[in-house]
């Protein structure tokens, strides 16, 4: 009986046929567009502000800048696989007696990022097929205020529902969503690890041998869920099932 074969979209592959020419450049039958690369990159980077490198914890942070002006610091962010890189600080002049949300907005239809200070409503953040907001800060300015202070600004970058920080590659890949699903630590089955019930050890403490054949413990870690990675020679003690 012949195999039943169904196509599955993927890439990136070398094209075997030129199907048309766009602005003088040939387009092959295996060509992919920016949405494909964005989808691929979003498998590695979660949405949020990148809190690393040159910008550390200050990327896109909104702070007072004198009078009723606020400034958003330079930074890098990822939204749905697209990268925003704001290289210079941007400022807004706001009005007393109003509440605002400062958002970083992706618009895939127009192919651009914008920084928006919008009066806060229940519709913020906007999350549609084409638009996605990261809420950087919420600002409430009392009527009659002439000076905007830090107490009027709520930093929402760490709020996972409104913004969040980019997680590491392993977290974003979700190779092991929960450590206890790993099944083994450094190649050692979970049932071979030392267990502790209350103050009583219920197994023998053993160290993995080094390349020299000498048994050495470099580090002893404790926890209630198995880590998915351990170096050779490290010991993990499971405190509870």
Q: Give tens-digit pLDDT for 186-202.
A: 555 555 555 555 555 55
- State how far the Cα of 82 lies from the Cα of 89, in Å rounded to an integer: 20
- Same domain for 92 and 201: no
Range of the domain at 191: 179-238
Banded pLDDT at 2 (limits 50, 70, 90): confident
Please indicate whether residue 153 or residue 210 has the higher confidence score (pLDDT). Answer: 153
Least confident of 44-58, 126-140, 179-193, 227-241: 179-193
Last residue within a domain, chosen from 138, 170, 202: 170
Residue with tokens 């009005």: 95
Instruction: Verify cis geometry, omega within 30 degrees of 0, for the bond prior to 12.
Output: yes
Q: Encoding tokens for residue 111?
A: 């192919």
Q: With 80 as the cut, is the pLDDT of residue 106 above it?
A: yes
* Four-CA torsion 91, 68, 162, 33, nearest 10 degrees: -20
Residue 107: inside a domain: yes
pTM to 2 decimal places? 0.63
Nearest alpha carbon to residue 112 among 137, 132, 92, 138: 132
Q: With 90 as the cut, is the pLDDT of residue 142 above it?
A: yes
- Same domain for 195 and 123: no
- Same domain for 137 and 59: yes
- State how far the Cα of 79 lies from the Cα of 163, in Å rounded to an integer: 10
Residue 88: inside a domain: yes
Last residue within a domain, chosen from 116, 138, 170: 170
- Same domain for 68 and 145: yes
- Which residues sit opposite 113 in a β-bridge? 106
Least confident of 9-13, 14-18, 139-143: 9-13
Residue 185 CA from chain centroid, whole number: 25
Residue 85: inside a domain: yes
pLDDT score recorded for residue 184: 53
CATH number at residue 63: 2.80.20.10
The stretch 217-225 carries a mean pLDDT of 67
- 79 close to 87: Cβ distance less than 8 angstroms: no
- Same domain for 104 and 63: yes
């Amino acid at each position: 009986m012949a195999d039943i074969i169904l196509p599955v979209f993927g890439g990136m592959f070398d094209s075997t046929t030129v199907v048309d020419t766009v602005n003088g450049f040939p387009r092959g039958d295996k060509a992919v567009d920016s949405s494909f690369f964005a989808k691929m990159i979003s498998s590695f980077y979660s949405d949020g502000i990148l809190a690393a490198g040159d910008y550390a914890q200050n990327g896109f942070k909104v702070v007072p800048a004198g009078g009723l002006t606020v400034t958003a610091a330079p930074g890098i962010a990822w939204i749905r696989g697209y990268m925003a890189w704001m290289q210079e600080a941007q400022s807004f002049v706001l009005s007393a007696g109003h509440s605002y949300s400062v958002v970083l907005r992706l618009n895939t239809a127009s192919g651009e990022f914008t920084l928006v200070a919008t009066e806060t409503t229940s519709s913020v953040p906007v999350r549609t097929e084409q638009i996605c907001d990261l809420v950087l800060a919420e600002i409430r300015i009392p009527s009659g205020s002439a000076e905007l202070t830090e107490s009027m600004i709520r930093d929402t970058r760490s709020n996972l529902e409104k913004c969040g920080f980019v997680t590491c590659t392993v977290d974003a890949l979700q190779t092991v969503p929960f450590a206890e699903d790993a099944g083994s630590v450094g190649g050692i089955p979970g049932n071979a690890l030392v267990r502790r019930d209350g103050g009583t050890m219920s197994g023998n403490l053993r160290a993995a041998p080094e390349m020299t054949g000498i048994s050495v413990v470099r580090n002893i870690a404790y926890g209630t869920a198995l880590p998915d990675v351990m170096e050779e020679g490290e010991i993990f003690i499971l405190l509870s099932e």
